[in-house]
Amino acid sequence: MYWRRKYNFNVNDLSIDSINMNHWIKNKSSLTDRIKKIANLKIKLVTNNYKNKNLLLSEKNFFPLHTAENIFLREVIILANESPIMYARTVLPRKYLRGYWNDIKKLNTSSLSRIVYENPSIKRSNFLYLAPSLNNNIFKNIKSLKIDSKNLVIGRQSYFEYKRKNILLTEYFFEAINNFEFE
C-alpha cells in the first residue's frame, strides 16, 4: 500500500455517510477543536519518547538523515464520548525539541493543535491518504492497545513546517468519527 494524494477510497460498504466523512478527512483545521464543541473529547497518551523503534516506513522515509533512535514519537488515541475516533502519531527529529517544537514532548493528554494552530507562520502541507490494510503495522499497533482495529476507515498524513523544521503527523480515522456531524 502506498500513500496517495487523492482520497478515492470506497467507504460505501461501511455504512458511512461519505459526504460527512469527506468533510472530516479533508479538513486542514483542528479536528480536536471541532470535536470539543460537539462531544466529550479525551486524549489518551500511548507513547511520548524517542526510545520507541516502532516507526512506520513513511516516517523513516520522511526523515531519512535521522536514525530511529534520534526520532521522537508521540502516539495518542483520541476519543469522543468514550469512542475512539482517531489514532495519531507525531514524529520529529529529537534535535527539533530544543527549539520551537519543544512543547510537543510536554503535551501529554493535550491536543497538538495547541502548538500548530496558534502560530500563524506554521504551514500545513496537503494530505496524503492510505486505505487501511490488515497487513498494515498500524493494525497491529492499535490491536495491541486493545482497540478494535477493524473499525479503521482511512489514514492521512501531513506535515507542519516552521522555519524549515517539519514535524510529520499521521492520523488514522475510526468509523466512529462519522457519528459526529461536521459543522
What digits encode the pLDDT tens for the residues 25-45?
889 999 999 999 999 999 999
Determine the pLDDT at residue 130. 87
The span from the CA of 32 to the CA of 42, in Å, is 9
Q: Can you read off the three cell numbers belonging to residue 112? A: 497538538
Helices (H) and strands (E) in the chain, counts: 5, 7
Task: Give the model's pLDDT for residue 50.
Answer: 80
pLDDT digits (tens, 9 = 90+) for 83-134: 999 999 999 999 999 999 999 999 999 999 989 998 999 999 999 998 877 5
Give me the phi and psi of 135, to 5 degrees please: -85, -10
What's the whole-model pTM score? 0.91
Going by pLDDT thresholds of 50, 70 and 90, the confidence category of residue 8 is low
| pLDDT score recorded for residue 115 | 94
Model pLDDT for residues 130-153, shown as the tens digit of each residue: 887 756 777 777 777 777 767 888
CA distances from 114 to 11, 135, 168 (A): 31, 33, 16
User: Which H or E run includes 141?
Assistant: helix 137-144
User: Are 24 and 156 a contacting pair, CB within 8 Å?
Assistant: no
Domain boundaries, the chain: 12-179
Residues of 37-69 as b/e, b for ≥16 C-beta within 10 angstroms? eebebebeebbbebebeebbebbeebbeebeee
Q: What is the mean pLDDT of the chain?
A: 87
pLDDT of residue 14: 58
Q: What is the mean pLDDT of residues 45-63?
A: 86
Domain covering 12-179 in this structure, CATH number: 3.40.1410.10
Which residues does residue 42 pair with via DSSP β-bridges, in sequence order? 79
